[in-house]
Amino acid sequence: MALLVDKLRPRTLDALSYHPELSDRLRSLARSGDFPHLLVYGPSGAGKKTRVIATLKELYGPGVEKIKIDARVFQTTSNRKLEFNIVSSVYHLEITPADVGTYDRVVVQELLKEVAQTQQVDLGAKQRFKVVVINEADHLTRDAQAALRRTMEKYSPNLRLILLANSTSNIIAPIRSRTLLVRVAAPTENDICSALHLAGKKEGWTESEVLNKRIAKESGRNLRRALLMFESIYAQNEKVTDKTLIPPPDWEALVTLTADEILAERSPARLLHVRARLYDLLTHCIPPTTILKTLTFKLVARVDDALKPDVIKWSAFYEHRIKLGSKVIFHLEAFVAKFMRIYESYLMGMDF
């Protein structure tokens, strides 16, 4: 049984329930015959991927839905073998070059060149070009992006790129100027409510409006998250009412607990205890940035107004360090220690 998120994913541009003007634009692009390279950006859970797939369908018809997964092996210059997964249909390829870390340049160059140099085989195809969808384009290294830049110009008759990214900040300017930027904003809380309502109706669940609103608020305008929460609530409770608790994900519960502990006692012993908790989170593959951000917002909500800017300042500072450094636990711990110190000195009314 598929999850709701997958089962109810809209397949065509017409079925998309919000951002109608964006859907119109994508449709006119797909029909114009002159499809540019796209850079689709927006927060996660806003529906970037859904829109891209729907656009592909608009471009090529239902053939794009027949996908297969290939594992390819690439060889780097230093003779290292890289295994790499490619999702493809007859008309398009979908890759996540960030999977292979710093070797993404090799994959981008070899694969795209290969695709670009072969013409569309199917004579009945609607378009003469193939589309390559690149996920997590903002995690590409500079080298890989520079390699893309050459490829985009050189092979544009046979190849169109669709880059998916969370933000355009990490995309180099030459790529930005060669692509058409498409911003996908997160759905508003009302949009989420109506999506949940539709989902509930399709599944035949009795639902409560108030609960839907709470889910929408809790999800932070992330539709995927909202749908997952929605489903888990209905899986866990026989009868759903307005007051049903929304169970937070267990890692978030753990972060909340950690925040409580930090606020309750500020001592080296407690720091040691918190370290164990942080390690616990990290070994469960929670990204350090997510841990730090969640922890920060839990802490900020509970300290005095005067202290809030300071907490944010240090959080941003250590987040930057996490990105630059190599051992994340140092920086997470440093943030906790820093927070304990400023909180303690604020409570005592003196600086130390």
User: Could you list the residues that contact another protein (CB under 8 A)?
Assistant: 25, 28-29, 31-34, 36, 41-43, 46, 123, 149-150, 153-154, 167-170, 177, 180-181, 183-186, 220-221, 289, 292-293, 296, 300, 305-306, 308-309, 312-313, 315-317, 319-320, 323-324
59 close to 131: Cβ distance less than 8 angstroms: yes
Q: Which is nearer to another protein, 125 or 240 (CB)?
A: 125
| Integer Cα distance of 224 and 192 in angstroms | 10
Which pair of structure tokens corresponds to residue 240? 């759903």
Closer residue to another protein in complex, CB, 134/292? 292
**Smallest distance from another protein to CB 88, Å:** 24
Task: Kindly state the smallest distance separating residue 347's Cβ from another protein, in Å.
Answer: 17
CB of 153 to another protein, least distance (A): 6
CB of 297 to another protein, least distance (A): 9
Q: Give the C-alpha distances (Å, rounded to integers) separating 190 from 18, 48, 186, 196, 216.
A: 10, 19, 11, 10, 8
Contact 284, 253 (CB under 8 A): no
Closest CA to 260 of 302, 223, 319: 302
Q: Which CB sits closer to another protein, 36 or 63?
A: 36
Choose between 89 and 170: whose C-beta lies nearer to another protein: 170
Q: For the beta carbon of residue 317, count every other beta carbon within 10 angstroms.
A: 13
Q: Which is nearer to another protein, 24 or 83 (CB)?
A: 24
Of residues 221 and 224, the one with the C-beta less far from another protein: 221
CA distance 265 to 148: 52
List CB contacts of 262: < 8 A, sequence separation 6 or more: 270, 274, 299, 336, 339, 340
φ/ψ of 305, rounded to 5, equals -55, -40
Find the shortest distance in angstroms from Cβ 21 to another protein: 10
For another protein, the closer of residues 66 and 313 by Cβ is: 313
Shortest reach from residue 74's CB to another protein, in Å: 21
β pairing state of 130-134 and 38-41: unpaired
Between 127 and 208, name the residue whose CB sits nearer to another protein.
Answer: 127
| CB nearer to another protein: pick between 38 and 274 | 38
Edge-first strand order for the sheet with 68-75 is: 68-75, 81-88, 92-95, 130-134, 159-165, 38-41, 180-183
What is the distance between the alpha carbons of residues 237 and 241, in angstroms, rounded to a whole number?
9
Distance in Å, CB of 205 to another protein, minimum: 27
- C-beta of 178: minimal distance to another protein in Å? 8
CB of 223 to another protein, least distance (A): 11
